[in-house]
A and B are shown apart, each in its own frame.
Chain A
Amino acid sequence: MASSIKSLKAKKFLPMLGDRRARLKAGENRMPDGTDAARAIALALHPKRQYLKVAQVITRSADCKSYVLVPDLGRGTEKLAYFGAGKYLSVFETIGGSPVNRAYSISSSPKKALEGTYELTVRKVEGGFMSRYIHEHWDVGTLVEVSAPAGNFEYQPLRDAPHVIALAGGSGITPFLSMAQAIADGDEDFTLTLLYGSRDAENILFRDELDIIAQKTDKVRVVHVLSDASPDSLPEGMRQGFLTADLIREFAPANEPYSVFLCGSQQMYAFVDKEIAKLGLEKKYIRHELFGEFHNPASLDDYPENVPETVQITVTVQDETKTVTGSSTDSVMQILEKNGIAVPARCRSGECGFCHSHLLSGEVYVPKHMEFRRLADYPFSCIHPCCSFPLTDLVINVPSAER
């Protein structure tokens, strides 16, 4: 007989229906497992919120303090989420009726998280809303609410060179301290040369801690670069000046690729980016930590003219609609927060997309360096409120901030 589907029995079909019902009915009469190995890891690494309390406050310099945070079992956090060195926590506070958050790199090592502590290091910034609040209000016993560890500023061996030249400015040292400690602990495996820029020797953060790590492992080397020190009073081994291309060349490995990681202020990025450009590195070898919240869009060349000083924003969150007024020099997110409306926010730098929202009418300005929207966001008019500055009155739809 020639090969044909006809050799198969069609009548086999009807009993299949009864068989299926019988099999489904034969399943155990118990609640399904509420979890599994994949879900357990997802929940352990990405809790919706972590409820912590301040266990210790350490003064690092005149304007900088570290806060050691531990889980607050009373509010349901049993364990700290583990993290890769370089990640940040978003700290949530309500200040004067404004729900706000800021991202702070975890300055302690991943290993410390397993032992039950995170350390955040906060420099009091001039005019800084959150940093000033933390310095004034956080003390031993203060209850704190933070996100899961987040961000992409981590070492990735498949992408990054085995040798990383880290350029840190001031409190931008925090993710690198965590990375250096992780290398010493054996949790990360790469060579880290840390070119750390501070104003003067008094303003160096974690000087002893960095020394200890550098003594422990030959994979970490620290070079202090002081901008305001006079050459005569320069402590031994330190450099005077700025984080320049020449300096990077001096410490870069010869004849092999190296990665450059940057973390610092927006002013530092502006300077150092120009220096790095001189090195002719491939883009893959240059990685920036978050740019940080941006103010004063009018300072940028492509900012349009004749923007009204104040704008109205009509915002809908779930089933509540409000109309608020704000300054066009503030981002949409800042305007909403100043009016007591919480916006889902993490990085506040345009990158993470957590605040993804619908712009129903009106126009916004987005600084080019903060443009990380998805391509389809343009035709469907979606914005990231953290880096969108109103040019006209707006009508927007914003996701709930409750998660």
Chain B
Amino acid sequence: MKTYDVIVIGAGNGGLAAAATCAKAGLSTLLLERHNLPGGSASSFVRGRFEFEPSLHELAGVEMVGQQFDNLDAKVDWLTHASTFRLIVPAKEGDKDAFVNENGVRVTVDARMPVGFENFSRKLDELVPGSYESAMKAFELSENMFKAFDALGDGENYAGLPKALPYMPDVMRMTSHTLNEALNALGMPKKAQDIFSTYWCYMGVPGSRFDFLYYMAMQSGYIKNGTGVPRLRSHEMSLAIDKSIRDHGGEIWYNSEVTKVLMRDGKPAGVVVNGSKEVYAKRFICNASPNFVWTDLFEEADVPEKQKRMINARKTAVALTTVYLGMNKTKEELGITDYSVFIAPDSDSDKQFEACQNFFSGYCIINCLNEIIPDCTPKGTSQLFLTTMTSGDVMKGVKPEDYKKFKTKVARDMIETCEKALNISIIPYIEEIEIALPPTFSRYLNTPQGTPYGYMLDKWDSMLPRTIQFMQDQPFDNFLFCGASQERGDGYPSAYYTGEKAARLTIKAIKEGK
């Protein structure tokens, strides 16, 4: 019986990066995936003459992800676009600060924000006078934080520490305070804070709970670099890593679900694939959601108590609902002028988060990929991608036989919200439509409530403490988790990072004969 150096469970972004890193280092690597395609969320699907991007809104430029792909010897045709976001808050009756925007819609906020710290801060100041300095300070803090982290990662044995030290007090301030607390301390006016916090939804944590450090780490990348996407949908990214794994001698088995983990001497020694085939390895990297790993793959007696307690202590992150539209009109004909528009019932991120506990909240992001890739659909057509956040609990009480109607109702509400907020017409021009609710994500990602985001990056369970305590969070010394459930939460580069990191630790252990 062949024993692999490492078995990677799940070919989501984390698992792909883990397997590619291990294979490239010469480890005998087996990547097992329950679906017929790599990538998990990073995929695509075809309906009629349209190929849809299922999950990626934007990469923060392509420099960082490009470096990750270069490290994995994976080639992707990247595209960039000098845009960030447009936030629209439609006015409610009686709103005193309402005005009519360029679309002819009564709004209280319409912020189309440019790329670059300076441009962004100036625009913010234009919209909310007196916010320039605080915005620039926030960006400076994030730049210093990156300098500190770069220095900490420099050389062996903390050789870079002296260079990092001057920045560390601010880093500690940033990570131990929320986005709202920090922006208040910086003296940013409330309305400017709301605009500044627009990207909270990319991690699903509102301003009163999102730590300032991680928010800035994410947001400043988007503001600094603009938008990046692969030319051929995320499927291109996943196939590029798939190729790298195979080119380096790794094996990938698709439609091969791990149905059980086999234990020997109190730790994992192998797995059962599709209920029948046993394969063994020295070490394991697991991209599957911890919740279902413990309930589905392990005997209860083998589940470490610490892991049970951890899962019950943590909060599942938000779930998503997405609508994919193949349109038989161009974006110009439809009247779409932006790649990414955030439509919110209220400008405050906590109120947005609260609203998102229900269906449907009025919160909707609308993306038009043709804005970046004009020929991503046939001539005369375009594709739209609508996203809203929800609590997975919204599915309680929905019976399977009512699900189809429920889906259509949610989609209609989302589309009509976009139609009203942009003063455009969408429904008459829909040629193809797919609707993904939490059960759809559950089916493809196999995560609790279908969340693509892992556990909520709440202020007590935030990125830096997770990172520092990474090894303490792992269940066995030869079994490491990667993916959105880990320290950096969701996002493609975050998942790739966790996979690469788990792989580096695995490679080191194998080389040390462990």
Asked if A84 meets B404 with Cβ closer than 8 Å, knowing A32-B308, A375-B233, the reply is yes
Interface of A is mostly: loop
CA distance A182 to B412 in the complex (A): 21
Question: Which residues does chain B contribute within 8 Å of A41, judged by CB atoms?
Answer: 395, 398, 400, 403, 439, 442
B366 to chain A, nearest CB (A): 15
Q: Would A375 and B232 be within 8 Å (CB), given that A5-B182, A11-B172, A23-B313 are in contact? A: yes
Q: By the criterion CB–CB under 8 Å, are A42 and B295 in contact?
A: no
Query: In the bound complex, what is the Cα–Cα distance between A3 and B264 (angstroms)?
Result: 58
CB atoms of B274 and A402 under 8 A apart: yes
Kindly list chain A residues whose C-beta atoms are within 8 Å of the C-beta of B448: 32-33, 36, 39
Q: Which B residues touch A28, using CB under 8 A? A: 308-309, 312-313
What CA separation (Å) do A82 and B399 show in the bound complex?
A: 10
Say whether B137 contacts A284, CB under 8 Å.
no
Query: Closest CB-CB distance, A76 to chain B, in whole Å?
Result: 12
* Contact present for B460 and A8 (CB under 8 Å): no
Produce 1/0 per residue, B250-292, CB < 8 A to A.
0101111100000000000000011111000000000000011
Contacts A19-B460, A36-B448; is A29 near B242 (CB within 8 Å)?
no
Best-surrounded residue of B34, B172, B243, B295 (most CB of chain A within 10 A): B172
Residue of A nearest to B187 (CB): A3
Complex alpha-carbon distance, A23 and B459, angstroms? 12
Partner of B295, one of A4, A9, A31, A44: A31
Are A27 and B309 in contact, with the CB atoms below 8 A? yes
Q: Tell me whether A27 and B312 are in contact (CB under 8 A).
A: yes
Interface size of B in residues (CB-CB distance below 8 Å): 105
Closest CB of chain B to A182's CB: distance in Å? 10
Question: Is B393's CB within 8 Å of the partner chain A?
Answer: yes
Query: Measured between alpha carbons, how far is A403 from B296 in the docked complex, in Å?
Result: 17
Nearest chain A CB to B463 CB, angstrom units: 11
Q: For chain A, residues 14 to 61, give those with C-beta under 8 angstroms from any C-beta of chain B.
A: 16-17, 19-21, 23-34, 36-42, 44-46
Grouping DSSP codes into helix (H, G, I), strand (E, B) and loop, the B interface class, with mixed when no group exceeds half, is helix
A42 touches B439 (CB 8 A): yes
Q: How far is the CB of B150 from chain A (nearest CB, A)?
A: 20
Does B185 lie within 8 Å of A8, measured CB to CB?
Answer: yes
Interface presence of A276 (CB below 8 A):
no
Interface: A282 (CB within 8 A): yes
Whether, in the assembled complex, B438 has its beta carbon less than 8 Å from a beta carbon of chain A, the answer is: yes
B253: contacting residue among A31, A32, A157, A399, CB under 8 A: A399
A202 to B253 Cα, complex, angstroms: 51
Q: Is the pair A10, B170 in contact by a Cβ cutoff of 8 Å?
A: yes
Per CB-CB distance, the 5 closest pairs between chain A and chain B, nearest first, are: A3-B187, A27-B313, A399-B254, A27-B312, A34-B295
Q: Pick 28 A–B contacts, CB within 8 A, sort by A.
A: A5-B174, A8-B177, A16-B465, A17-B469, A23-B460, A24-B310, A26-B313, A28-B313, A29-B305, A32-B311, A36-B442, A37-B438, A37-B449, A38-B392, A38-B441, A39-B439, A39-B450, A81-B400, A82-B400, A159-B431, A282-B328, A344-B36, A353-B37, A376-B235, A401-B255, A402-B274, A403-B257, A403-B274
Residue ranges of B at the interface with A (Cβ–Cβ < 8 Å): 2, 34, 36-37, 44-49, 51, 134, 137, 141, 169-170, 172-177, 181-182, 185-187, 232-233, 235-236, 239-240, 242-243, 246, 251, 253-257, 273-277, 291-292, 294-296, 300, 303, 305-306, 308-314, 319, 328, 392-393, 395-398, 400-401, 403-404, 408, 411-412, 415, 427, 429-433, 437-443, 448-450, 460-462, 464-466, 468-469, 472-473
